[in-house]
Structure 1
Amino acid sequence: MPMDRFGPLAFQLVLLRRMADFQAPRVDEALRELGVSLADMREANKRWQAMVRSPKGRGALARYRSVLGPPESSVRRRIGDLDSEIHTWPVPLWPDLRFEVVAGAGGAVWNEWLVRAPDASAPVLRTVEDLEPWSCTVEEVARAFPPARPLEGSAPTRWRLAFTAPDADGQPHAVVAEFTWGLLQRLPSQQPA
């Protein structure tokens, strides 16, 4: 992979690098689909971390714009008492998803994750068995199984949700789902409720 310019392909490798901790076989398949190697993914992540940590670096929103180009969409939205701007970019590896950045005044980034594209169908989530890795986002799981309770993630770009969901036989289970960049990775905990 040519690493002269850090662009959308390299950014997808950054997303995959964090997901590899939970879904190594899926990440390997995605790397093959993208025509890149594990070494390319590591190099992309190394360059991304250098950009993030650079004392002369751009702010997070400017960094996303420089890497991903102009957003596919930008809308202003009021969240509680705060005005925000929500920017989305396509992610070719996941055509039904968009990378969303929620920024406040002055471009301070509040949240950055994968969300369902507005014109894409969301998965039907009714049971624990419907929760397949890489099939749904944090928002979709929270809507499907209210009241979902957010928990601290194990690292930056990771989220966890605790909720109750029935299994295929209708028996309720207390579930903890783990997400990376907003995309479901695994269910490390599920016990009869």
Structure 2
Amino acid sequence: MGGMPTPKRLAGTFSTLDFQLVLLRRMADHNPDLVEDARHELGVSLAQAREASKRWQAMIHSPHSKGALSRYRAILGEPESRTPRRIGDVDGEAWLWPLSYWPELRFEVMVAPNNSVWNEWLVRAPQAPAPELRTLDDLTPWSCTVDEVARAFAPARGLEGTAPNRWGLAFTAPDALGVPREVVAEFTFGLLQRTAVRQ
């Protein structure tokens, strides 16, 4: 993660860097230390990070706000790829964008036929190797995505998130000694934030 030059910010625009700061801001509730490290790697001050979040909130709540898809295209540019995807009985497309801080991930937006957005989160980049998830010890913050955990520890049950852009999964996973444990994992924008073992 990190190590890539930050995009130049044009006056009056909301840049890809600003957008990444918004994602990180949402993750700070669970992992403030990781977010702080990321901010330093990106070369951004705390004031800049707060300003990006403030501008994002103003943008999405503005009466003149563009639709979500138009907003993402304006900020992130044209997607790296657009792939047909069928969810239930609805045909749509998965649009993927690269982000400099997470080069092994992509920001995925699920687009319905009417161009509405029904999901937005981080997924593994198509050519990036998925992590090996075998035990609870492998489930470290930011190491894996919702779908990777759901596949590794199937069957997993989805849980309602505690806030927008948050998800939960309940599943059984072995601990370091191989003892099965009932686990709840929490995700922000599809990226694992923390796990808790049910007693």
- TM range, normalised to the smaller chain? over 0.9
Q: Does 1:84 align with 2:64?
A: no
1:123 shift after superposition: 0.4
Aligned runs of 1:11-160 on 2, under 5 Å? 11-160=19-168
Opposite residue 190 of structure 1, the aligned amino acid is: V
State the alpha-carbon separation in 1 of the partners of residues 50 and 167 from structure 2: 22
1:191 shift after superposition: 3.2
Detail structure 1 runs of 4+ shifted over 4 Å in the superposition. none
TM-score, normalised to structure 1's length?
0.96
1:27-61 CA-to-partner distances (Å, cap 9, x unmatched) read: 01100110001111111111111111112111101
- Alignment size in residue pairs: 191
Q: Percent identity?
A: 63
1:106 shift after superposition: 1.5
SS, match of residue 26 in structure 2: helix
1:145-186 CA-to-partner distances (Å, cap 9, x unmatched) read: 011111011100111110000011110010000000100001
1:4 shift after superposition: 2.8
Partner of 2:192: 184
Which one is further off, 29-38 or 49-58? 49-58
Partner of 2:175: 167
Opposite residue 46 of structure 1, the aligned amino acid is: K
TM-score, normalised to structure 2's length?
0.93
State the alpha-carbon separation in 2 of the partners of residues 191 and 14 from structure 1: 31
State the alpha-carbon separation in 1 of the partners of residues 64 and 120 from structure 2: 21
State the alpha-carbon separation in 2 of the partners of residues 136 and 88 from structure 1: 17
State the alpha-carbon separation in 2 of the partners of residues 77 and 134 from structure 1: 25
The answer to whether the 8 Å contact 2:174/2:181 transfers is yes
SS, match of residue 105 in structure 1: coil
RMSD over equivalenced CA pairs, Å = 1.2
1:80 shift after superposition: 2.1
Q: Which runs of 5+ in 2 are unaligned?
A: 1-7
